[in-house]
Amino acid sequence: MALPELPFSHKLQLSTSSRPHAVVVPQDPLGWLVCFVSFTMLLLISWSASQPGEWTTTIVVLLFLLPWGWIVLRQPDDALRAIVANWVLIALPLLSVASALWSDHPAVSLKGGVQYLATTIIGILAGYCIKSRTLISALLMALILLAVLSLLGGTAEYNVYTGEYTLIGLFGSKNYFAVCVSFLLLTGASVAFDRSYSFVFRTVGIAGAIFAMPLLVYARSVGALVFSIITLMIFLMLRVLVRMPFKLRIAILALIIPSTVLILILATFDVNFAHFLNYFGKDVSLTGRTLLWEHAAAAIAERPLLGGGYEAFWQPGNSSAEQLWYYSYVTNKYGYHFHNTFFEITVDLGFIGLSVFAMTLAIIAARIIARFTFSRSSSEQLFATALFIFLVLRMPIEVDLFSQFQLASILICIIWIYVGPIVLVPGHKRS
């Protein structure tokens, strides 16, 4: 029986061979170039905002957006199918656009919402219309390029807590620099363990992962460093467990998970967290995060259902925002947030927006569990799982998934598509 037509990005996933043919750069060089150029420009948007004049940012944003027009022209049916099939991903961006109707700053909410929607659509096109190995290899090279440029031509900030300098590279923010370096570590490790790539490209993956490690330390972001290490350990464990029989997997997890939780609980009695935080320039309030969360709770109480509008809180003239900027010594009144994804979404879009976001996360988590339980996850699915774990771990202290023109907003779409629901084709046994 002939197999039904599959999306462009997954036509090679049901190959009858036990291991895909090793390649240096996956086939479809134009698709690879689109991803590489677009991802590189996306990573440079933060840098362009610090340059004089608005034309630099405009050019960089256009170079991020325009390459995907070629993908739409090349695969119009796949592009339309991708957006329709993955409508859940655009629900939150559409709500962000609609929030202009009740926002205190409607123009800001409308512009930001449209940009967030465009970013999400590009993420859907990337995950659906580009072969997974083409995309991952292009992402790896873009991350390596930006890491090298950040080291050679980037900047550093003086940390008053530690008396040392913190590397921020070309990103204008140590937190964003650190999270992108974390993505480099996880992407490099994923490529290094994927035998479908050639020895040369797997070596590039190893080099990228090794290069990322000292950069994470010099970025001095506690969340990025700790969560990267935890995620990498889980990723390595999953690569081993996924090759084991189902019953053995469950038995090992039943032993490892409770033991890990017990060790972490016992360790808290001996760890000097204040000393640990001070080393990275943090205080026991997580550098003012507790004050941010108090203001977020107050804003939510005022508008609990639909929120105050997308990006409407952090605007000049808002008394709460002005107080927080003053307390945190933020003079430019730009690029600030609540350092908590759930608070940020609820302040902007209320509990309705939070429910949409939570539903998306729950579906992804359920898909990951189902794939791990009932099938043998592929390399790209393990890659997506690692990214998802890392992003979820960061949600209580950072905001990665609720912004336009951010790499994480692209990656969550790719994660959703890579760990899609299991569909067993009649007569075909999935690996």
Give exposure, 308-345, as e/b (b: 16+ Cβ within 10 Å): bbbbbbbbeebebbeebbeeeeeeeeeebbbbbbbbbb
Placement of tokens 């923010």 in the chain = 173
Q: pLDDT tens across 39-97, in order?
A: 999 999 888 877 777 788 899 999 999 999 999 999 999 999 999 999 999 999 999 99
- The CA-CA-CA angle for residues 143, 287, 42, to 5°, reads 20
Higher model confidence: residue 423 or residue 32?
Answer: 32
Placement of tokens 């997308």 in the chain = 310
Q: pLDDT tens across 12-38, in order?
A: 343 333 344 444 455 789 999 999 999
Residues facing 156 on adjacent strands: 167
The pTM assigned to this predicted structure is 0.85
Q: pLDDT tens across 118-133, in order?
A: 999 999 999 999 999 9
